[in-house]
Amino acid sequence: MTISFNDDDRISRLPDDILVDILSLLRPDKAARTSVLSSRWINLWKHTPSLHFNGSLKFEQRKCVKMVNSVIQSHKSPTLKKFRITFPLDRPDSTNLLTRWLEFAFFRQRHFPEVYNIAPRSSTLSEFKSLKSLSFKGVNVSGRAIEFLLRNCPRLEQLIVSHSQDKTSKIEVCGSSLVLKHLKIAYCSALESLKISAPSLTSLGLTSLEGVLLENVPMLVDVSVNCDYYSPISIKKLFSVTSRCISQLETLKLGMLWFPTRKGNDELGTFPQMPKLKKLFIEYGPFDEATVTTLAYFTSASPYLQEFVLENKYKNAKPENIRMDDVAASGRFRHEHIKVFKFRGYHGRPIDDAIVACVLENFVVLEKIIIDPSGVSSLDIFSRLETEKTARESAKQHLQPQLPHRVEL
């Protein structure tokens, strides 16, 4: 076989699939530009098996968005191996855009889109059908988009949505066939309601309990709720939201807990029992006399607790208001399983020592007590180091003599 050719049709001798392979290495807009070369080229770029849109920070967002929209309008390849978007996306309609792009990618499915956008917000999405983990950080995803994803990613085990500002936010994570194990919905300030009904879910992380409805979560054992200082968790709310599953929990992590005053604590009535709880982390606001009561409530509600971490992030413990007698009076609770107690944010204040004393008195099988003075926000590193040093020394001074021999400090 001999093919005669001349120098003028060099590239035209290449079969279409090779040209398409070359075009798929170009940024999609550059590939689309080759339409103008000649009639043969007009549709070649529309068949590239992968699309990678990348923009840099100097590249205008408006142009990037236009580029993606134009490309997906014309693109004809029935399958996509790769669909990747990497540029900053931060505009009012980004939710709609993302939903549209994801839908485009889903219908060309095979391998999947990676949506990632550079600072200040980012998210990654890869490998759909076999996708196991999906996270959106700072991408405005609507409830509709999430439901779409859940329907289309039958193997999804982990879903993280954080810092989404979507305005019409109602999220439903529901489905009897979901294999989802880990769910985290964090810092979505506009979220109005969140309904969860996932038979395989084992761990759940939230930063707000507003509008949260837990329906069918038989496997849930690990719950973490981390609120910020301005909207602390009300314990009452916590128990009403988790009423269906609290008795099955093994790990509970609570950030910025807010307890009503003592009187309020009494109003709380029956404190739900947590017979399976093994690990408890409580990050507390400023300590006061109710802190010990809280300790007492939690430990008596969870008889098989093994590890207890208490953290105080605030330096000022309102010491002037604390009546030590009250602390001692409320501090009568015996616990026969806690082996490890960790106290972060210890400052050597009377209240701190009172708490430790309570712990030593009541946790009768304690093997290890960890006093960690760090975790306190302070102006500069040097004064913090100094503070921590002082606190460590006072921890030794105050606590060593009281320690029973079996307890390791």
Partner 1 sequence: MAAETGTPTTLTLKSNDDELFSVAESAAILSVTIRNMVEDGCAGGVIPLDNVDGKTLASVITYMNGISAIPADEEKKKSYRDKFLSDKDFETLADMVLAANYLNMSCLMDAVSAKIAQVMEKKSVGWVRRKFGIENDYTPEEEAAVKEEHKWTFEGVETDDDN
As measured in angstroms, the least distance from the Cβ of 125 to partner 1 is: 25
CB distance 346 to 395 below 8 Å:
yes
Strands 170-174 and 158-162: unpaired
Task: Quote helix, strand, coil % in the chain, to nearest 5.
Answer: 35, 20, 45
Burial 293-316 (b: 16+ CB within 10 A, else e): bbbbbbbbbbeebebbbbbbbeee
Find the part of the chain contacting partner 1 (CB under 8 A) among 28-36, 150-158, 227-235, 303-311: 28-36
Q: For residue 11, which phi and psi values (nearest 5 degrees)?
A: -70, -25
Stretch that binds partner 1, among 27-35, 77-85, 112-120, 202-210 (CB under 8 A): 27-35
Candidate segments 22-30, 116-124, 142-150, 162-170, binder of partner 1 by CB under 8 A: 22-30
137-176 residues in contact with partner 1 (CB under 8 A) are none
How far apart are alpha carbons 75 and 28 in whole angstroms? Answer: 10
Is 33 an interacting residue with respect to partner 1 (CB under 8 A)? yes
Select 25 or 213, whichever has its Cβ closest to partner 1. 25
76 lines the binding site for partner 1 (CB under 8 A): no
Q: Which of 3, 119, 379, 381 binds partner 1 (CB under 8 A)?
A: 3
Nearest to 251 by CA among 273, 275, 281, 226: 281
Quick one: which of 16, 18, 76, 385 contacts partner 1 (CB under 8 A)? 18
Given the complex with partner 1, which of 34 and 226 has the nearer CB atom? 34
**Sole binder of partner 1 in the list 16, 43, 57, 66 (CB under 8 A):** 66
| Smaller CB separation from partner 1, 23 or 225 | 23
CB of 89 to partner 1, least distance (A): 18
Q: Residue 248, class by beta-carbon neighbours within 10 Å (0-12 exposed, 13-18 middle, 19+ buried)?
A: middle
Residue from 349, 359, 360 nearest 296 by CA: 359
Catalog residues that contact partner 1 under the rule CB under 8 A: 1-3, 7-15, 18, 21-23, 25-27, 29-30, 32-42, 63, 66-67, 70
